[in-house]
Structure 1
Amino acid sequence: MVIAVGSDHGGFNLKESIKQMLTEMEIEFKDFGPLECKSVDYPDYAIPVAEAVSKGEFERGILICGTGIGMSIAANKVKGIRAALVSDIYSAKITREHNNSNVLCIGERVTGPQIALEIVKAWIHAEFEGGRHDRRVNKVVEYEK
């Protein structure tokens, strides 16, 4: 699995922690930026990450901003993206199992750093269950066409 990772300034520190954890987990990733903690606009990072996932260049993406809201709104504008704003471990697991989310959004200012890392782990390890959930996800995919 290769993951696309991006943030804005409000999520920069958590992005760096997530990158460290991914490295320790031996999971490949690409950092779409920013490369330093200065004021930037979240769509400039959310959209390229979402497009890369949508095109199949990356299996999944992780986006972080202050609340995660801006990133999730921007990412969900990209066709084929099911970005989920998550603030707890259970939801991280379920959004993969039931919704087949392909982009995880987290808010650095509203989610504690240890919980955020556990959210990422749960989301990475969870797999889409298919079955009745496949039918529901396909309805969203069909509408998007």
Structure 2
Amino acid sequence: MPALVSERTVLDALAAGRADLAVPAGALVTALARDTARDHGLTLRLAEPADGRRRGAALPAPTPPRPVAGAPAQTLALGCDHAGFEIKDALAAHARALGWTITDVGTGSAESVDYPDFAYAVGRLVHLGQTQLGLMIDGVGVGSAIVANKLPGVRAALCPDVFSAFNARAHNDANVLTLGSRTMGVETCKRVLAEFLGTDFEGGRHARRVQKIADVEARFLPGAPGAA
């Protein structure tokens, strides 16, 4: 699992009085982490390699991600916050038993974290075409769905029951599922996840409607003429 530099990582560095933060090569630096570092004057630098032959350079600004077509089939980005940690492993095992390959973006313990960091990490992998679908678990699922839906091309749906999961995939072509560990039992979550993973988009009249969702999104992307 790649290292994650979240807003909490930056805040801890600031609280320790640090002026810069070494970021491991290949680490995922969340948008909130970058913004917080910028706003507080904390420099994010690439960590020195193990042999110490060169000093860390300033971390480059992120290039706006572009969606990549053709995500590998049956690949699932999986994330949670502290509220979802208790059931994450059970859902990961369930997905693997159904034939899916998991990319786990964290969190790795029940210590309190901020769900936007992990919802963003899940949505980003789907947006970039690195995974076919995403799953994010927090206390209720609403907040994570809001975050993931900020990423272009992501259609996240909170599905509290099996029918919602079917409809989200078959009619809305949803590609990220959010679940609430405090409102749903683990067995319900397993059934919902299985339905979400096992249902294909029906297309037809629904394709026209999903395209209209994409059209609304496109009006507000950078460079779009006359956002309205």
Moved over 6 A (4+): none
Determine the structure 2 residue equivalent to 1:77: 150
Cα offset, 1:15, TM superposition: 1.3
Cα offset, 1:24, TM superposition: 2.2
Amino acid at match of 1:115: T
> How many Å separate the matches in 1 of 2:121 and 2:173?
20
Determine the structure 1 residue equivalent to 2:171: 98
Amino acid at match of 1:43: P
> How many Å separate the matches in 2 of 1:13 and 1:26?
22
- Which deviates further from its counterpart, 68-77 or 21-30? 21-30
Cα offset, 1:25, TM superposition: 2.3
> How many Å separate the matches in 2 of 1:4 and 1:77?
17
Gaps in structure 1 of 5+ consecutive residues: none
Structure 1 position 122 matched with structure 2 position 195: yes
Choose which of 68, 81, 93 in structure 1 pairs with 2:141.
Answer: 68
Once the two structures are superposed, what CA deviation does each residue of 1:27-80 show, in whole Å capped at 9, x if it has no partner?
101110011111000011001110110110100000000000111111111111
Q: Secondary structure at the match of 2:84?
A: helix
Amino acid at match of 1:45: F
Cα offset, 1:16, TM superposition: 1.4
More helix by share: 1
> How many Å separate the matches in 1 of 2:217 and 2:93?
35
> How many Å separate the matches in 1 of 2:210 and 2:197?
19
Determine the structure 1 residue equivalent to 2:77: 4
Choose which of 57, 63, 81 in structure 1 pairs with 2:130.
Answer: 57
Cα offset, 1:26, TM superposition: 2.9
> How many Å separate the matches in 1 of 2:142 and 2:180?
7
> How many Å separate the matches in 2 of 1:100 and 1:26?
20
Structure 1 position 142 matched with structure 2 position 218: no
> How many Å separate the matches in 2 of 1:45 and 1:111?
20
Q: Secondary structure at the match of 1:10?
A: coil
Specify the structure having the higher radius of gyration (Cα): 2
TM-score by length of 2: 0.62
Choose which of 100, 122, 125 in structure 2 pairs with 1:27.
Answer: 100
- What RMSD over aligned residues (CA atoms) do the two structures have, in Å? 0.8
Gaps in structure 2 of 5+ consecutive residues: 1-73, 219-228
Aligned length: 145
Determine the structure 2 residue equivalent to 1:45: 118
Q: Percent identity?
A: 39
TM-score by length of 1: 0.97
Cα offset, 1:20, TM superposition: 1.4
> How many Å separate the matches in 2 of 1:31 and 1:16?
10
